[in-house]
Structure 1
Amino acid sequence: MHVDMDAFFASVEQRDNPEFRHRPVIVGALPGGRGVVATCSYEARAFGIRSAMPISEAWRRCPGAIYLRPDMPRYVEASQKIMQVLQSISPVVEPVSIDEAYLDASGLERLNGEPESIASLTRQKIRETVGLGCSVGIGPNRLIAKLASEYRKPNGQTVVRHGDVLAFLDPMPVSNLRGVGKQTDKIVQKLGIQTVHQLRQYSLEILSAHFGRKGGRYLYDQARGIASSRVGGTQVRKSISKEKTFKRDVTRPRQLREQLRQLSAEVGRSARHKGLKGRVVNLKIRIEGFETHTRQCRLPSAVNADGEIFGHAWKLYEQSGLAGRSVRLIGVGISDFGSEEPMSDLFESSREREEKLYSTMDEITDKYGINVLSRGIRR
């Protein structure tokens, strides 16, 4: 079972402020500034407003909406109550974000009846406990449950039994499947594929030729409703990243360099707290016109030191061909976490000294705050 709260942040605001109900509510950046929509009420969506839309565009479409900055402590409090409700329904609950979770619904029929009754009970308990609406999907695996929860939003429920999976998938646009972004969708459109039913007519070999071995297999399996049914497993973190949106576009290399250094320090500190090191450094740059570029490089050994992350990220910027362009957003991250290769004796002592240095810096930062202490970099 997949439970997804409906327009979560905006719904909390409408719940707590009766004057906001039945009105377009937009949570995120405020008009006149830089930033995007975090989420919006369904009344706002009627104007074509959606998550991640630039706030300037949202204002153009609906200047009469209520614009609010996120109140995360309130949203977290509501989320914790929702997860407690879900734990009263199933002993196996896997939160995947602040406003959605998977539940293992197998065996619940003995307690709560048919899947439709389980879905209705879940929605009722959340409404009574938290005063918010949600959508529920039940299916034989995670993919189908997720698609089912999206099927009748808002405040809806859909149950897809094993024998009905293909009939449920067939009329869906391919863009509904997981991992189908803009680039994948472009290829799909070129092939003349509109629906999941049409996608299923293509062999694994043809899909792999167009989308790569991994991407082809992913689409091939999804078109047949094949996906994991495991709930509650440990989620492996795939990346750690930080980014900064500037109030005004930046062109000065020195300012970009300093910002990238700060972001690299935040990424390094976060990675060290989690005991992670990454073999890939990623750079993200958004220039004027919301044109976004990404660059990455693979390293011979995994890193989590600020200086190494920054050095590789800055080199990616210098080689990006974007130097001198007005930058709206810049970000850095590391990925491809895994076991570290053993160090040779020649480098072991220097690496140990560096790790002790960063450990001390992290302790000071934890106690006194970010930007109190940082390592110098060569200009």
Structure 2
Amino acid sequence: MSMSSNSTSKTDPVSDVQSLRKIIHVDMDAFYASVEQRDDISLRGLPVIVGGQPNGRGVVAACSYEARKFGIHSAMPSAEAGRRCPHAMFVKPRFEVYKQVSQQIHTVFREFTDQIEPLSLDEAYLDVTSNTLFAGSAYRLAREIKTLIHERTGLVASAGVSYNKFLAKIASDYKKPDGLFCILPAEGETFVASLEIGRFHGVGKVTEARMHDLGILTGGDLRQWSEAELAHEFGKSSRYYYQVARGIDDRPVRVSRIRKSMGSERTFGDNLHERTEMLDILVTLLDDLIDQLAAKSLSSKTVTVKVRFADFSTFTRAHTQHKGLLDKGSAHRALPFLLDRALSLGQESGMQRHGRVGRRSGVRLLGVAFSGLAPLGEDSPIQLEMRW
């Protein structure tokens, strides 16, 4: 295969296939941690962990490449990260700063295309099919975007270029950090065939393990399965797996991504045992989410309560309003019922609950989420009838 890497290229074979799209996936390298190292020179070259302190109950939000060498990754408990790397520098996240930097990055994107699909503060797809700069070269355009981001923010981005979103995302991760990689249309199927199944976007740890049990270790193995066989094993995801195994992904770059859910969680330094205290916290989380929905002119059909016990066992209970949308009063009335049902599941799993959760267990995290979001006015909120 003759795939492009970090070396300079005078031509861009992707642009030679005019009938195909040209997609760039840009992903900032260790974004939160890199911002902290940029703003505090004493952190440069050191293992930096953004998130909770190692003596607390928080988790790792992000970490530098120096920290990743110790097996540290996002969502890992901070205490575990501290054990793995005792000399790591723990830094509280500064989300307002990260948002400001993200705006600078998106300003660069908009200089080249308005077809931008943001995935997070530090990641986005760009459709540059119609771009005529650099003689229509998507590869050279991606290199220019990387250069401008570094000049304006002092941060490093990786970029992947290909003819669909699936391959562009894989390409951006292929040469990290500071990567620039191109998967050409003629090379897509061959590249996917040699790719380990765990590197497929959309294949998580659980699915990867299941595929390994079925003898699916690479894209080539996945391609041997018919769509019907995949449907039997993986249900509605089968179509996606069948297509990407062949280098096919027709998903468009969505300029306005529809948000499907919105949630909020709180982890406690000391486990909670009183139901009334839990309910008060859930009400606070709910009210904050309702304000966020109103600010975005959204409403919801489903409210979910999440309870995580001290042993990390987690239970969720949800209610969906099938006709109309939930109003504020209905959502509030649902909370105690959903909390009790989640606590009951914990009780059935060996937890004790008699007005209080057993002292040896307790609750370490509570969360509330809204899903089935829709624009206000699309459907009228109605009163929720409780049938528990």
Alignment TM class, shorter chain as reference:
0.7 to 0.9
Q: Which runs of 5+ in 1 are unaligned?
A: 355-379
Aligned-residue sequence identity (percent) comes to 38
For 1:334, which of 325, 349, 370 is the aligned residue? 370
Amino acid at match of 2:309: I
Shift of 1:38: 0.9
Worse overlay, 300-309 or 235-244: 300-309
For residues 317 and 180 of structure 1, the distance between their equivalents in structure 2, rounded to whole angstroms, comes to 32
Q: 1:272 to 1:86 in 2, by over 3 A?
A: closer
Instruction: Give the C-alpha shift of residue 229 in structure 1.
Output: 4.9
Does the alignment pair 1:59 with 2:82? yes
- 8 Å contact kept, 1:278–1:302: no
**Equivalence for 2:346:** 322
| Deviation, structure 1 residue 299 | 2.2
Task: Summarize deviations over 1:313-370 as a string: whole Å, max 9, x none.
Answer: 4323322312535211111112123476568xxx8xxx6xx9xxxxxxxxxxxxxxxx
Measure how far apart 1:141 and its partner are: 1.2
Confirm whether residue 27 of structure 1 aligns to residue 50 of structure 2: yes
Q: How many equivalent pairs are there? A: 345
- How far 1:279 sits from its partner (Å)? 2.1
Match of 2:281 in 1: 259
1:191 paired residue among 198, 214, 224: 214
CA distance in 2, matches of 1:283, 1:158: 42
Structure 1 pair 29–106 and aligned structure 2 pair: CA distance change class (3 A): same
Contact residue 170 and residue 201 of structure 2 kept, 8 A: no
Of the three residues 132, 141, 145, the one matched with 2:164 is 141
The CA RMSD over aligned residues, in Å, is: 2.3
Structure-1 residue corresponding to 2:4 = none
Alpha-carbon separation, structure 2, partners of 1:112 and 1:248: 60
Offset of 1:23 from its aligned partner? Answer: 0.9
- Paired residues of 2:158 and 2:177 also in contact (CA < 8 A): yes
Rounded Cα–Cα distance in structure 2 between residues aligned with 1:87 and 1:239: 27
1:155 aligns with 2:178: yes
Answering whether residue 351 of structure 2 is matched by residue 299 of structure 1, we say no
The one-letter code matched in structure 2 to 1:157 is: L
Q: Deviations over 1:46-78 (max 9, x none)?
A: 011111111001110111111111122322222
Match of 1:50 in 2: 73
**Secondary structure of the structure 2 residue equivalent to 1:94:** strand
Contact 1:303 1:309 in 2 (8 A): no
Scaled by the length of structure 2, the TM-score of the pair is 0.82
Q: Residues 286 and 5 (structure 1 numbering): CA distance in 2 closer, same or farther, change over 3 Å?
A: same
Q: In the aligned structure 1, how far is the partner of 2:291 from the partner of 2:76?
A: 30
After superposition, where does 1:237-256 map in structure 2 within 5 Å?
237-256=259-278
Residues 84-233 of structure 1 correspond to what in structure 2 (within 5 A)?
A: 84-108=107-131, 110-111=133-134, 114-212=137-235, 214-233=236-255
2-side partners of 1:74 and 1:109: how far apart?
34
The alpha-carbon distance between structure 1 residues 73 and 262, as it changes in their structure 2 partners (threshold 3 A), is closer
Mapped contact 1:28–1:68 kept (Cα < 8 A) = yes
Name the counterpart of 1:373.
Answer: none
Looking at structure 1, the residues matched to 292 and 49 of structure 2 have their Cα atoms a distance apart, in angstroms, of: 30
Instruction: Give the TM-score normalised by the residue count of structure 1.
Output: 0.84
Deviations 1:113-172 (A, max 9, x none): 643322222222211221111100011111111111111111011111112111221222
Contact 2:115 2:255 in 1 (8 A): no
Please tell me whether the aligned partners of residues 276 and 304 of structure 1 are also in contact (alpha carbons under 8 angstroms).
no
